[in-house]
Amino acid sequence: MSIQDLAMLKKQHGLIKASCTRVKTYVDSIGQPSALVIAQLEERKSKLENSWIEYNTVQTRLELADDAEASDRIAFEEAFYSLAARIRELTASAPPARGSGAVSSSTADSRGAPESVSHVRLPKLSLPSFSGKYDEWFPFRDMFNSVIHLNSALSNAQKLQYLKSSVIGEASNIICSLELSDANYEVAWSRLRERYDNQRVVMQNHIRAIMELPSLAKENYIELRQIADGAAKHLHALQALKRPCDKWDDILIVILTSKLDSRTAREWQSSLTGAELPTLKQFKIRLQSRVSAYTAITECIVSERVTENLPVASFKRKAMKLPRNISLADPNFNVSSEIDILIGAELFWELLCVGQIGGSTDHPLLRKTRLGWVLAGRFGAVSSPPWVHSNHAIVTNRQLHDQVDRLWQLDENFAASSTYSPEERFCEKHFVDNVSQNSQGRYIVKLPIKEHLLSKLGDSQEIALKRLRSLEKRFSRNSSLKSQYNRFMEEYLALGHMRRVTMPSGKGAPTFYLPHHCVVKPTGGS
């Protein structure tokens, strides 16, 4: 990268940070937010999110040119998430837009009628969807609260329509049975808040998500980025819930270090000096430097083996006296190991950077690359074994074609020779005839019935009635249990999990009465 390009990137870098600083200055000056201030906060929040995207692009290019730029990302991320959380806190704590009557009619007229503003602005907003995941609830609640719930220009029926269109999946089952009416909006909103407005569960989900971040078996740029971004996302969510995350550095470092591949973990341990405990900020900076490493997309030929292990023989690292101020692309260069990839000349020249240390009696030639410093050339202290292995393999197109043709023949013979029993053929036909997919993407299959066994069901009505009478006696002794049971059954009806069935008197189709009773677990959450 030329000096002019680097200067241009730093200028863009400064402009982006200046824009974010102006947003922070405005937010810090707000006391009690009014409806107009809330609208301006929403616009500045959108601008802040765009600034984050632009900053990430420019910062990544800067880090690829100079590793020292990685520390700036940590400070910017901390400031960005703190500012975004403050904006969300202000918009969530805003008073309802119905007003206290203090605004005069002339003032309202000068700023435009609320109805016209709402009808102009709402189509421009893309309301987030909520699928029932607890970690999505608070962002969804705050956005819906400020845009729809507190909007006095909307009727309750309109608010319910917006709510139903924004709720999907498991969460939609809670309110799907409610008809569109003014009275049902408060019922629907209350049901969702009773189910998901639970800070304890949300906090536990974020902590569990950190514990369940993927573990790297091998160094991988994409998965390493997922660990860094995932940890940052859940930690900032916990900070928004006012949890003391700044006191958890020791525990978090142990958890996140266990997710790293062996090479990255060794580099982290080797970067620590003395007996002083590291901080989470130091860990983030180190991890970010690994994430910001050079990446490229190229076509590859997959082979079982590239070449012999290199170096051909392991040797002690102390045999070389390397400069202390360099970061090696392969810290374990002295250990004989497999070669992961052989790159072509089109990528090799892109990897080289300005920087070279000539070979000497202390070490071979050192060359700086985007991946770190590499060693090349002969070093007299390293001895190689007296043997050399050479491998060569060749496969012609004709041989490859014959092998593929045999594979298809085996597949056809297997399909023709497969034999099913009559019962297995019936099950397969039943599945093909009765499988369907609902609007949520779930597959539904009708249960198969053995018709010749229906007559052996017997008389189950009397058993079910005895169980019902026993349950009613239990309810007469425990009114709280009866109330909980009734509420559960009403919810089952409302969600469509069961329906009322009326059977005609006399003998008809075979019927089986399923006894039902309640099981209460006092230590459970439901």
Kindly list the distances between the CA atom of residue 37 and the CA atoms of 20, 95, 451, in Å, as whole numbers in the listed order: 18, 12, 69
Range of the domain at 267: 202-283
220 and 236 both lie in a single domain: yes
Query: For the chain, what percent of residues have pLDDT higher than 70?
Result: 85
Residue 108 lies in a domain: no
275 and 346 both lie in a single domain: no
- The residue length of the chain stands at 526
Residue 76 lies in a domain: yes
C-alpha to C-alpha distance for 488 and 475, rounded to whole angstroms = 14
206 and 239 both lie in a single domain: yes
Closest alpha carbon to 367 in 328, 334, 336:
328
189 and 272 both lie in a single domain: no
Using alpha carbons only, give the angle 235, 26, 15 rounded to the nearest 5 degrees: 80
373 and 294 both lie in a single domain: yes
pLDDT higher than threshold 80 for residue 113: no
174 and 215 both lie in a single domain: no
Give 383-418 pLDDT, tens digit per residue: 555 566 666 667 677 777 788 888 887 766 655 555
C-alpha to C-alpha distance for 120 and 246, rounded to whole angstroms = 43
277 and 308 both lie in a single domain: no
pLDDT higher than threshold 60 for residue 102: no
pLDDT higher than threshold 50 for residue 109: no
Question: What does the pLDDT read at residue 293?
Answer: 58
235 and 192 both lie in a single domain: no
Give 15-68 pLDDT, tens digit per residue: 888 888 888 888 888 877 777 788 888 888 888 888 888 888 888 888 777 777
Query: DSSP of 289-346, one letter per residue?
Result: HHHTS----------S--SS-BSSS---GGGS---TT--BS-TTTTS-B-------HH
Residue 273 lies in a domain: yes
Residue 250 lies in a domain: yes
297 and 274 both lie in a single domain: no
220 and 186 both lie in a single domain: no
235 and 294 both lie in a single domain: no
* Token couple for 337: 């190991």
302 and 278 both lie in a single domain: no
Give 136-166 pLDDT, tens digit per residue: 888 888 888 888 888 888 888 888 888 888 8
Phi, psi of 375 (to 5 degrees): -105, 140
Residue 99 lies in a domain: no
Domains of the chain: total: 6
Residue 373 lies in a domain: yes
* Token couple for 136: 């999505």
Residue 41 lies in a domain: yes
Residue 310 lies in a domain: yes
Domain boundary among the residues 283, 306, 322 is at 283
